[in-house]
Amino acid sequence: MQPPAVSDTQSEIDRAYVLLGTGQLAEAEDACRRALARTQERDAGAWIALGVVLRAGQRAREAEAAYGRALRLDPSNRIALHNLGALLSQEERAEEALDALERARVLGLNASELYINLGRTLVQLYRPEDAERAYEQAVALQPQSPQAQQSLAALRHMRGDTGFARDMERAIAATPHDPRLQLAYADLLRRSGDLAASEAVLRRQMAAAGPQQAAFRSSLATVLREAGRPGEAEQILLELAAAHPLDAVLMENLVATQLTLGRTGEALPFILNQRQRAPLDQRWITYEANAIRQLDPGRYHELFDYERLVRAYDIEAPAPWRSVAELNAALVEVLQTRHLFATHPLDQSLRNGTQTARTLLTDRDETIQALLNAFVPVIAEYRSAIGFDANHPLTSRNRGDVRFRGCWSVALHRGGFHVNHIHPQGWISSAYYVSVPGETADPIARSGWIKFGEPRWPSPDAAAEHFIQPKAGRLVLFPSYLWHGTVALQGPETRLSVAFDAVPS
């Protein structure tokens, strides 16, 4: 039998990419597998396409295997190396990612996307100078790329560079009518705290936005809400929600705004609809609890039962450490080498502090891994204490094994705190205290204490209801849907902590 024509195989690959672009993942996968069948699984391009489709479907392990098959067929394939490196970087397997990306670069790949992925990987490896150079190269290759510009600006911000947005501003000056770049710039200004400048950019662009009008109006509503003008935000969001009822981000913005205004009755139908659509998304559990806080106090206190669901434990020191104090001293030494930035990331709840740039789950340091192992029996004890109830959003999932989903360290400095937040993709969340300032001992000021129950945005009669004092060696576990934040530190000493989410496996 004659082998199939190359054009037949390529047409299936091309079809897969078209289907992927329209969100038809199953059909795109079928096209890839037809292409592979035509070549007896010997076409590297078909394996690359399959990897792209699988990654888009959040099937990271299968995507990694597909790129591996492509590289076994064609070890010098720059695209397969790049895509593998990008996937590994997304998984925060930084050492492996750097190897693949550097090989792609040495083989001649010179694309903005390559340098974006290199930059992210180098940040994860705590090489900020090299990361900034990689992002600068990404911007030089594609100045109008919002992703490249935002990545560079965000890193410069963490490094304490007050002119962090200068490259983006130059690109905007060169092409002032690029709506994607203007939207990215407004978002960058908002996240950096300059709400007035963000609003000015959005209003200036809205008149000429055309098809981008909805995106600019949605961003403006976010700015108005953060600026304490929820009434203006609600008017915009109601109009947008009528046109885009399935947009979960838009619906969350509307719900949060209505709860701020005390419009519980208007918000509740939207919340219940989203609870049905995404029952494991912690945000909608939180908003449901907020909505019924005044309507049904009994149900509210089932969801926000602090005495039962928020628990503090003193961990046991793992071998070879003889005490938790000895373990924490080793952790301080290790974590100090991971806190290299000048200030907080732009996309986190942290203020006036620093955060590790990589999940500690893939950090190879033995002290960090020993700490993670010490958490395991405590999580089991917590799960035993909360029990199982099929009608409760936390305990209904309390079956089988659990796994860590993200782990990071935070250092709070003078004035440092977390804004009130939740963990949308978590189940059980945590705070482990490695070292704490002396000021945390004051039960009146409660500086540095973790607080629960106060929403991110001010709402009628919704103050913090529960506080726990941080102590070195203490691990606090709680549902990921509980609002939690930190009372700001006042003094010069640093509060160093580790946090993680755990989810049913």
Cα separation of 446 and 198, whole Å? 34
pLDDT band at 295 (very low <50, low <70, confident <90, very high): confident
What is the pLDDT, as a whole number, of residue 277? Answer: 92
Rounded average pLDDT over 68-81 = 98
Per-residue pLDDT for 296 more than 70? yes
In order of 75, 266, 370, 448, the CA distances from 487 in angstroms are 53, 32, 29, 5
Alpha carbon 21 to chain centroid, angstroms: 24
What is the pLDDT, as a whole number, of residue 212? Answer: 67
Structural domains of the chain, ranges and CATH numbers in brackets: 310-504 (2.60.120.620)
Q: pLDDT tens-digit profile of 327-348? A: 999 999 999 999 999 999 998 9
Q: pLDDT tens-digit profile of 244-260? A: 888 888 999 999 999 99
What is the pLDDT, as a whole number, of residue 427? Answer: 98
Per-residue pLDDT for 6 more than 60? no
What is the pLDDT, as a whole number, of residue 246? Answer: 85
Check the CA dihedral 383-428-457-236 and report its sign: negative
Q: What does the mean pLDDT of the chain come to?
A: 95
Q: Cβ distance 420 to 485 under 8 Å?
A: yes
Rounded average pLDDT over 294-318 = 93
Cα angle, residue 254 at apex, residues 249 and 255 outer, rounded to 5°: 95
Q: pLDDT tens-digit profile of 18-46? A: 999 999 999 999 999 999 999 999 999 99
Cβ-proximal residues to 57 (8 Å cutoff; 6+ apart), any chain: 25, 29
Across 127-131, 135-139, 272-276, 324-328, least confident range: 272-276
Q: Which residues pair with 350 in a beta bridge?
A: 418
Percent of the chain with pLDDT over 70: 98
Q: Which residues pair with 474 in a beta bridge?
A: 314
Cα separation of 209 and 180, whole Å? 10
Rounded average pLDDT over 85-103 = 97
Rounded average pLDDT over 440-452 = 97
pLDDT band at 3 (very low <50, low <70, confident <90, very high): very low
pLDDT band at 184 (very low <50, low <70, confident <90, very high): very high
